[in-house]
């Protein structure tokens, strides 16, 4: 089901318009001259890194931020993709969990995450004499709950894909044409997004969630989120894959593995996977003062 949905997306894209936006992006990048960009290996940042590499060569530097909130399998895939496509790569270690504002998991947690990222991007840029830092925000992000956009504004981080008015669907079409394996990759989000706001984030819990999701991926589930609710693990997968959970001993294996990792109860969310499901109760969560 997930694959079928991904295959349907390109048909809804006006390819001539997507090409025009790609040309705008290329011109924008050439005008920037050089940049350091945050790179996770997801659909958007991989596309931006590849186009920047084509236009700027080694004057485009992709930076992978290593932290507990970044899934191990995603780190490995991001590095492999950069190496296979000739993208200049740097890695930095970020320490957002050491920031109490982040670890407490307020509704604007993403501000502190992006702040930590942009501090490191700016440092790399200054070391290399590069004037611009950038990240992979797209027009789909406009209007959503994105505290990270405020951090980008404060640190002068550009969003070239957003400036070129590129959407996720258009980026998938263009990525496929460019031969990027990420063109049909499921949407990514940092592991900290699996916690209800106000639930403290720890390195141990992030590792647990990473292992839970890795287990589900190994079972063949494509789009996966495991949401943490104290002793309960709430699994979100595409609704079209619900039947697979009940095939053979799959459910028993999932329960056994999740209990081994520390959960008492394991549930399947009948609403299925949806991006940002933890934002459903934003109105009921008190937003902290400040950013």
Q: Which residues are catalytic?
A: 190
Q: Two tokens at 6?
A: 């991904």
Cα separations (Å) of 72 from 77, 195, 257?
9, 18, 18
C-alpha 24/C-alpha 141 separation (Å) is: 19
Using CB atoms within 10 Å of the CB of residue 280, give its burial: 0 to 12 exposed, 13 to 18 middle, 19+ buried. Answer: exposed
Q: Two tokens at 253?
A: 């294996």
């Amino acid at each position: 089901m997930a694959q079928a949905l991904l295959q349907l997306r390109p048909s809804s894209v006006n390819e001539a318009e997507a090409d025009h936006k790609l040309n705008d992006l290329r011109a924008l990048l050439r005008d920037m001259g050089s940049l350091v960009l945050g790179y996770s290996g997801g659909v958007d940042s991989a596309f931006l890194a590849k186009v920047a590499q084509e236009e700027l060569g080694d004057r485009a530097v992709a930076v992978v931020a290593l932290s507990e909130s970044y899934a191990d399998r995603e780190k490995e895939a991001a590095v492999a993709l950069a190496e296979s496509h000739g993208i200049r790569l740097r890695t930095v270690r970020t320490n957002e969990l050491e920031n109490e504002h982040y670890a407490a998991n307020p509704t604007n947690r993403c501000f502190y995450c992006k702040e930590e990222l942009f501090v490191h991007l700016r440092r790399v840029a200054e070391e290399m004499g590069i004037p611009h830092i950038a990240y992979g925000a797209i027009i789909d992000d406009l209007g959503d709950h994105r505290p990270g956009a405020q951090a980008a504004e404060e640190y002068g981080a550009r969003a070239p894909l957003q400036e070129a008015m590129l959407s996720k669907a258009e980026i998938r079409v263009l990525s496929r044409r460019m031969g990027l394996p990420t063109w049909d990759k499921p949407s990514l989000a940092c592991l900290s997004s699996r916690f209800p706001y106000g639930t403290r984030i720890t390195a141990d819990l992030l590792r647990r969630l990473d292992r839970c999701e890795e287990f589900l991926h190994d079972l063949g589930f494509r789009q996966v989120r495991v949401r943490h609710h104290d002793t309960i693990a709430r699994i979100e997968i595409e609704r079209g894959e619900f039947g697979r959970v009940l095939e053979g001993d799959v459910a028993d294996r999932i329960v056994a593995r999740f209990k081994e990792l520390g959960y008492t109860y394991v549930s399947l969310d009948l609403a299925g996977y949806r991006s940002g499901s933890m934002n459903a109760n934003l109105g009921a969560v008190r937003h902290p003062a400040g950013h």
